[in-house]
Amino acid sequence: MKITTRTHQDISILYPEGKITLGDGDQELGEAVRTALEQGARKLVINFDKVSYLDSSGVGELVGCYTSIKNRGGELKICGMNLRIFGLIKMTSLHSVFDVKDTEEEALAAF
């Protein structure tokens, strides 16, 4: 899995690509979030536009990322989820925990 990052004003935006599953992408996502936090980011967006699949391990890593960000006084917005991934997030009731937006523009505007 590949993750690119860009900054918009004081917001770090992460763009994972591919699958976020056990052993394939889950740890990379957590590492990218930790790196952003270590570099001083406190407002983060994870754009799932190019993520094709997320399993329970990926969901667990996303919860870990959320916790790390909150523990450092930060905020997380998630956007660009396909229907399958959003269905998984909704099924686990995490849509009430995560701030999920349809588009990156909506996520950026929500800070």
Host domain of residue 27: 2-109
pLDDT of residue 75: 97
Q: pTM here?
A: 0.95
Q: Decide if 55 contacts 23 (C-beta within 8 A).
A: no
- CATH number, domain of 23, equals 3.30.750.24
SS3 8: strand
The CA distance from 108 to 55, in Å, is 26
**What total of structural domains would you count in the chain?**
1
pLDDT in tens, the chain (111 residues): 899 999 999 999 999 999 999 888 889 999 999 999 999 999 999 999 999 999 999 999 999 999 999 999 999 999 999 999 999 999 999 989 999 999 999 999 999
